[in-house]
């Protein structure tokens, strides 16, 4: 099963390498990972999407906690949470076909980030299913490139 793990870490160099090394060294996989500083600039938050059975997840949790630079670990999948992903998509589409592109964009509340001679770049956020849907609809129109941020997640309320 897939899990989203939220990790508070010391904002120091080398911390990402420790975490990435832990996952690769112990054979756990990372589907996506995003890192950014928190309100406290000495602390960063990582959101890691991984998969495994309960035993593997328990070990991931414990092994992460074992790292000196890890301050706190939550498996948010087991709580009430909101998750989002951001995607940037450049679609190469001739001017006569752009109406359809804009209709799709509107339906997904995607913003037009850039309009060029030969292509349009969309920016959209949503949970994973929504992003997948968007990509599915845009594909026939001619996706040249797309970049996903990886998932970020937040708990719905203060929880222990």
List contacts with another protein (CB under 8 A).
Answer: 9-10, 14, 17-18, 21-22, 25, 55, 58-59, 62-63, 65-71
Give min distance, CB of 5 to another protein, in A: 15
End-to-end CA gap in the chain: 23
Instruction: CB nearer to another protein: give 70 or 105.
Output: 70
Instruction: CB nearer to another protein: give 13 or 136.
Output: 13
Give min distance, CB of 152 to another protein, in A: 21
Q: Supply 23's token pair.
A: 């996952």
Instruction: CB nearer to another protein: give 66 or 160.
Output: 66
- In sequence order, what are the beta bridge partners of 33? 48
Distance, in Å, from the CA atom of 32 to the CA atom of 28, rounded to the nearest integer, reads 12
Give min distance, CB of 18 to another protein, in A: 6
Rg over CA atoms, the chain: 19
Instruction: CB nearer to another protein: give 18 or 130.
Output: 18
Q: Where are the alpha helices (DSSP H) in the chain?
A: 15-25, 54-66, 98-107, 128-142
């Amino acid at each position: 099963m897939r899990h989203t793990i939220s990790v508070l870490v010391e904002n120091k160099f080398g911390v990402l390498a420790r975490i990435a090394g832990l996952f690769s060294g112990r054979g756990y996989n990372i589907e996506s990972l995003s890192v950014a500083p928190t309100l406290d600039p000495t602390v960063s938050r990582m959101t890691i999407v991984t998969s495994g059975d309960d035993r593997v997840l328990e070990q991931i949790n414990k092994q992460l906690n074992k790292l000196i630079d890890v301050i706190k670990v939550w498996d948010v999948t087991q709580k009430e949470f909101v998750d989002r992903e951001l995607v940037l998509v450049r679609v190469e589409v001739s001017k006569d076909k752009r109406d359809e592109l804009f209709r799709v964009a509107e339906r997904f509340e995607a913003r037009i980030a850039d309009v060029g001679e030969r292509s349009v770049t969309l920016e959209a956020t949503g949970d994973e299913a929504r992003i997948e849907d968007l990509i599915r609809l845009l594909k026939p129109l001619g996706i040249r490139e797309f970049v996903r941020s990886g998932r970020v997640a937040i708990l719905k309320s203060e929880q222990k």
